[in-house]
Structure 1
Amino acid sequence: MRVFMTGATGFIGSAIVKELLKAGHHPIGLARTEAAAQKLVAAGVEVHRGELEDLESIKSGAAKADAVIHTGFIHDFANFKKSCELDRKVIEALGEVVKGPIVVASGTALIARGTVTTERDQPLVNADVLPRVATEEAVAAVVAGGGNASLVRLTPTVHGDGDQGFIPIVINAAKKGGGAFYIGEGQSRWPAVHRDDAARLFVLAVEQSTPGAIYHAVAEEGITTKELAGVMAKQLNIPLKSISAEEAAAAMGFFGMMWSMDQPSSGKLTKEKLGWQPKEMGLIRDMELNYFK
């Protein structure tokens, strides 16, 4: 298949590109800059110049393809609601021109509720309350209009070489604060997946997608924040300590709030439906080997 990709040069997108090529597909990557275009060419990917804010460029790129994988997102936390509503518009635009599968990245954190969540769970609030839910609302709207859109919910920690997400942020905060910290008793659970495992799931999802399907890229259901902080303490040779949610928010802002969330999640139904089997190392082992060099 010819697969149009947003976010093709990103942390997860670049891994998906490799898996698409390995499976014999033809990725077409959206490139906003010349540097991004050169990365795609070097990876053996067809380039489509454009950007998420230019919906006509999105439509023209998608029109070249049999399917779409949409992982691009503008991570502007100062204008977060605006970024989320743009994502809604991008998904709507894709739905207007693509009749084949449209696989969209979302997150398991959107359905967090302190128990192990599954692919059957839906967000408890709408986008007016939690702006990022706009992505899931947009996919549902495409499906309601007869389109073949589906979701891959990613864990808050997608780890691997080049990770610049939550775990490195917490590690840097620990370095600055002189202590590896967890909140309260440290029993908040975080699911995780290696980016290469997640990439393979996206390819399976685009190959086997069912309209309205929800898949979970979850390899590990829930590692406690105390366990993760313990790895940081040992590797950095700093104290392990408990702090309050308010102290975490002061140290890391939005990310401190995320660190306090108990959000275990399951990918069991995804594994059964798509035959997906994570095979990469787990988060703690990856941290021990690669996050403190």
Structure 2
Amino acid sequence: MKVLLTGITGTIGGSILRALAPTGYEIICPVRSRAKAQPIVERVGGNVTLVDLDQSLDFQTQFYNAAKSIPNIIHSGFLMSHQDVEMETQVITGLINAAKETSQTVEAALIVTTGALCVGQNLELSGEDQISTDNCLEFVKCRVAHEQLVLASNSATLKASITRPVCIYGGSFVDQYYKVCKQNGKIIVPHGNGSVSYIHTSDLGRYYKLLLEHKGSGCFTISEGLGPNLDEVIEIAKKVTGVQEVVRIDNPWEYMATHGFYLFELALTSKLDPKRGRELFGFVPECNFARDAERLLVL
């Protein structure tokens, strides 16, 4: 099976690559920096081909050219800045146009990553049929339009889906946070006792693989389910880092450059359940943050 996969140098794309490569997929990866991507491909192995994007063209054309005639497309790009909104819109549009064209002759699949922050605060453990983007966090509201763009491309022969990964650990902002707390000898946390959900990179990659194989369409949350509350996270941090001093802060953004985005996420309550994945293709996470953090965090 031929698959186009974007973003293999990132946490999400790299996780998907590691899940697909050993299982016989022919994976096409458009890249801007072959030098950065090549070592990743060599470590993973498998049937992976790097394709240099023609950066003299606009983004829409670059990604349309890369994806045309490929029946399965996974876009793992994770937009975090308003400065990149127009670029991301062009990338997604190019991928949609390529997928629509391919779907005229064969069944096609398009999976686009947006992220759980589109859901905003969610106080009860909820599956995808219970959530919306009505309370989307302000700085990711641009992603709602991207979600609508993707979902509107669904047809009988084009199965389009959006994925919303939660807090990812196993090589990510989560790991960065615990590493910095260990180095500084202080566990920095926001006020409150909220709860967010988690997913390990190995389960994340496996989820995308299952979604691709089952040609799912619509909205999918990628999560372990109910995660620990902040008080429990503090106890996990003490075990993982060996640090005992806890400092509560008012403004997580002031520490973002050192501690990473996870510190902001700890100020939220967003309890998300992978209900559709469990029901449609039997997804059961193998890892659990509260149980396995000491073993699986990369510090």
The answer to whether the superposition gives a TM-score over 0.5 is: yes
Q: Residues 103 and 149 of structure 1 are in contact (CA less than 8 Å); yes or no, is this contact kept in structure 2? A: yes
* Bigger shift: residues 248-257 or 13-22: 248-257
CA contact (8 A) 1:73 1:87 kept: no
Q: Any unmatched runs of 5+ in structure 1?
A: none
- The answer as to 2:105 corresponding to 1:105 is no
Corresponding residue of 1:140: 151
Q: Deviations over 1:49-87 (max 9, x none)?
A: 117963322111111411101002465xxxx11323322
Matched residue count: 281
Partner of 1:117: 126
Query: Counterparts in 2 of 1:143-182, with a 5 A limit?
Result: 143=154, 147-155=158-166, 157-160=167-170, 163-165=171-173, 167-175=174-182, 178-182=185-189
In structure 2, stretches of 5+ residues that fail to align are none
1:272 aligns with 2:298: no
**In the alignment, structure 1 residue 59 sits paired with structure 2 residue 64:** yes
Alignment of 1:1-293 (within 5 A): 1-39=1-39, 41-42=41-42, 43-44=45-46, 45-50=48-53, 54-73=59-78, 80-98=81-99, 99=103, 100-113=108-121, 114-120=123-129, 121-124=131-134, 130-143=141-154, 147-155=158-166, 157-160=167-170, 163-165=171-173, 167-175=174-182, 178-185=185-192, 187-211=193-217, 213-241=218-246, 243-246=248-251, 248-252=252-256, 255=261, 256-279=263-286, 281-291=287-297, 293=299
Partner of 1:190, secondary structure, is coil
CA apart distance, 1:251: 2.6
Contact 2:181–2:187 (8 Å) recurs in 1: yes
Distance (whole Å) between structure 2 residues aligned to residue 250 and residue 192 of structure 1: 23
Secondary structure in structure 1 of the residue aligned to 2:197? strand
Supply the distance in 1 between the matched residues of 2:4 and 2:61 (Cα, whole angstroms). Answer: 14
Q: Structure 1 residues 46 and 237, CA, compared in 2 at 3 Å: closer, same or farther?
A: closer
Which is further off, 53-62 or 118-127? Answer: 118-127
Q: Give the share of equivalent positions with the same residue, in percent.
A: 21
What does the per-residue CA deviation read over 1:132-157, in whole Å, with 9 as the maximum and x for residues that have no partner? 334313213333898431012101x2
Task: Tell me by how many angstroms 1:240 deviates.
Answer: 4.3
Whether contact under 8 Å (2:16, 2:209) holds in the other structure is: yes
CA contact (8 A) 1:249 1:257 kept: yes
CA contact (8 A) 2:126 2:271 kept: yes
Structural RMSD (CA): 2.9
Report the 3-state secondary structure (helix = DSSP H, G, I; strand = E; otherwise coil) of the residue aligned with 1:214.
strand
Q: Normalised by the size of structure 1, how large is the TM-score?
A: 0.83
Supply the distance in 1 between the matched residues of 2:132 and 2:73 (Cα, whole angstroms): 23
Query: Residues of 2 paired with 1:259 and 1:198: CA distance?
Result: 20
Residue identity opposite 2:62 in structure 1 = S
Shift, 1:7, TM fit: 0.9
Shift of 1:115: 2.5
For the structure 1 residues 51 and 217, does the alpha-carbon distance in structure 2 shift closer, same or farther, using more than 3 Å as the test?
farther
After TM superposition, the score normalised by the length of structure 2 is 0.81
1:196-220: per-residue Cα shift (whole Å, max 9, x none)? 1111111121222244x21221113
Does the 8 Å CA contact 1:49/1:57 hold for their aligned counterparts?
no
Q: Which amino acid aligns with 2:120?
A: A
Query: Secondary structure of 2:227's match?
Result: strand
Deviation at 1:242, TM superposition (A): 5.4
CA distance in 2, matches of 1:37, 1:88: 23
